[in-house]
Structures are given as structure tokens and as C-alpha cells.
Chain A
């Protein structure tokens, strides 16, 4: 059976669809190490998340259906974050992901904090940087009261809370004092947070951005190559239209967009019915129009708000609740999406500079 080729095997695998990404595993580029020895075929499927063993079974079945194949060996390999580094100038950080909405008050910080914890619960190493210098809310959301410790040569060690590494301007200021700065000082602080913090090894560094398309966003895009931005919006047109401006900024600065999360999607009435307070499916339609992945919807709920106010995010306090599960589902989709971007080469490659 010498006419068995990689193409034949890949063709057989090409109709296996990863349900969370809605694409087949061959065009996602996650089929790796394909080897053919006589009638034995072996390969790996690289995924970001556990629990997709049905893909393995499907793949084995498909390979065995190929005439001439006697044995099929498929392994699921979990790649956290991603193994591709190289274009990260912050050594040790595999993915830098800004969370943006451009509009204020849509719940970026709540979503960022819960996403960070949901990602960390899958075993990934996660950092959360609060880039909202004027109005830092991460310290409240995670109930951080201690200050980070300075190390020698101007390096700061981030605070560790609930298993994630956290940095925020709020750690350095008393609650009743305000930061009153012009642009250049903001830039300096963002650069310090990115490069002057001992983040260590991270699979994901999430950056909770302030509203707007200004100094902080620009500095971020200038200082480090970003994996891609995540857009958070409520379902309303007013919010989506402003989110669009944020997206335009990222596109102009060559930062890919990973996907859209809809926050405050609906209110679950105690009898189980969903009340779509701000309209139904706005962000999903928006994502479809722009051909961007829709990462999921997060309901508006008293317990999410309550847990945020006392500083124990719902993913930590009630991981089995439907609200926590909504965040976890979004985190899983985000991780798969990032993994797919890496394996299909959609993450911009390193620009070689020889001068």
C-alpha cells in the first residue's frame, strides 16, 4: 500500500468539525505529526482544551475507512496558550490580549477578571493587567489590599490572587486620591506595567483597557506585538457603534481581532424565562456582519454584581453556577480561537529587523 499519502489522510479528516470553532480540523491546522508507515497511520490533534475526545474517535474511524489502512493512532495533545513564541518581546509571555470596548460601563473589568480566572482554572498561567490608570477597578473586583513588592533594578513583582498575577495602578494609590496625568506619564506607566513587571512565564496576559481610543491603547499597540484584541459590548446599537471605533483602531494598528463577547445579554427571571433587557442577539449579529468569531453571551445578574463588589468573582465563588459557566464557556472558546489563530498562521509573524 505504498500509494497512501498525507493528502489522502488529510482529505479523510477534512470533514471532522471542531464544534466550538465551527471549522474542520484540517483547515484549522491542528492536525500535526502525521506519519504513515506501511498501513499504519498516526497523527496528533493539537487543542487548547481538554474534553474533545470525540474528535479522536472520529479521526480514528475516518482513517480506518481509508482503503489499505490497518491501524490508526490518534493522540489529542493539549497546547496551553501556544508553543509559538518568538514574536513576544516580553520574554515568557505567550499571548498578550487586550480586552476593549471603547465605550465605558459595558463591564470590561468584570469580564476581564472572570475570564482570567476561568482561563487559569483550565491550568493555564494567567496574568491580568489593569490598564485603566484613571479608574482602576481590578483591585476592588479581586479584593486586593496589599501592594506589589518592588525588586531590584526597578522591577515590580505582581500581586498573586486566586492563582493569577495582577497589576493595577490602584495598588499604588490611596482610594481617595486621583491620578491627574497627561499622556506622556500614562505612556510611561503602561510601559512600566508591561516591561517593568516580573510577570514570569504566562500563557495569557489579559489587559483590561480603559474606555476610548487614546494614549493607553496606542502605547500598548506600539510597545508590544499583541496576539489579538477581544471586544466586549452590550447588545445595544449605541454600545456596538462605539465598539466599532475600537475595532477600527486595532485594525489600523495591525492588531488582529479575536472575537466579540456580549455582556449583559439577558436577565434570567426566577421562573427561568430570559428577559433580553437590551435587545436580543445584537452583538452576535454584529459579529456575523463583520465576519468575526462570536465568543459568547454573559447574562446580567445580581450575583455577578454582588461577587464583583465583594471582590470574589463568580467564577471563583460559585464555579458551578450558570453564570460562572457562561464565563468558562467564553474562556474556552477564546482559548480555542487563539490556538486556531496560531496553528493557521493568522497571528502576525515576527517582522525581521536587520539594521
Chain B
């Protein structure tokens, strides 16, 4: 993946819960709200030095959704969730890689 591929043209809603990103190479990604919330990399959710997960998935409501999204410079978005959590910054490189991983997983499902 080249660097420019990880820069979005547009960040918007896919539906009431999920986030859609249209990338500068016209690829589209859809991030399911709760999946993304559970992958939050902030210091409250992941221990900084060890990478140990601190967030207990049980504490995240099944219908969690983003209330507000802001751009962080040119490299990330910050999401304020309906469960009150708002310190997570999601770099575009992280999101683009996550999308690729998810698409690979989805492709493997068919093989089985």
C-alpha cells in the first residue's frame, strides 16, 4: 500500500452506526461501529508500554455508535462514542490496514 492510499477523500456515515471512508484511490471501506470501538488504541483501552488490552468488551454496549467525528490534522480521525468514550484517535494508516485485514478475512470465509 502506498502512502497516498491511506488518505481519504471523504469520511461519512454508512448508516446510523457505521462509518464509511472513501479513499483517495476511490476504494471504499465500511467500519462497523462496535468493531471499531473495540479496536480503540488509546491509552485507556490499551496499555501503552505492553500493548495489553485494558478494554473489557462486555462494557461496550452492543448498539454503541459514533456521536461525533473530527479530523485530526491530516493523518487521523477522533471519534466520540455514545458510551461516553472519546479519547481514541484512529490514524488513517491504521484504518486502511484494518480494512485490508477485514477484507482478507471476509474472502477466506468463502473458501471454507
Residues of A within 8 A of B (CB): 221-226, 251-255, 348-349, 351-355
Contacts and interface: CB of A to CB of B under 8 A. Distances in A.
A348 B8 CA distance: 10
A223 B11 contact: no
A254 B10 contact: no
B32 to A, nearest CB: 16
Contact of B9 (A223, A225, A255, A349): A349
B12 A354 contact: yes
Query: Interface SS of chain B: helix, strand, loop or mixed?
Result: strand
Given A353-B69, A355-B66, A355-B69, A253 B10 contact: no
A221 B73 contact: yes
B3 A351 contact: no
Interface string B1-33: 001001111111100000000001000000000
Contacts, number: 60
B104 interface: no
Interface in B68-101: 68-77, 92-93
A172 B54 CA distance: 42
Contacts of B11: 351-355
* Nearest 5 A/B pairs, CB to CB: A254-B75, A254-B74, A352-B10, A221-B73, A222-B73
A53 to B, nearest CB: 36
B1 to A, nearest CB: 14
Contacts of A252: 75, 93
A353 B10 CA distance: 6
Given A349-B9, A353-B11, A354-B10, A253 B66 contact: no
Contact of A348 (B12, B13, B74): B74
Contacts of A221: 73-75
Given A251-B3, A254-B7, A254-B92, A351 B74 contact: yes
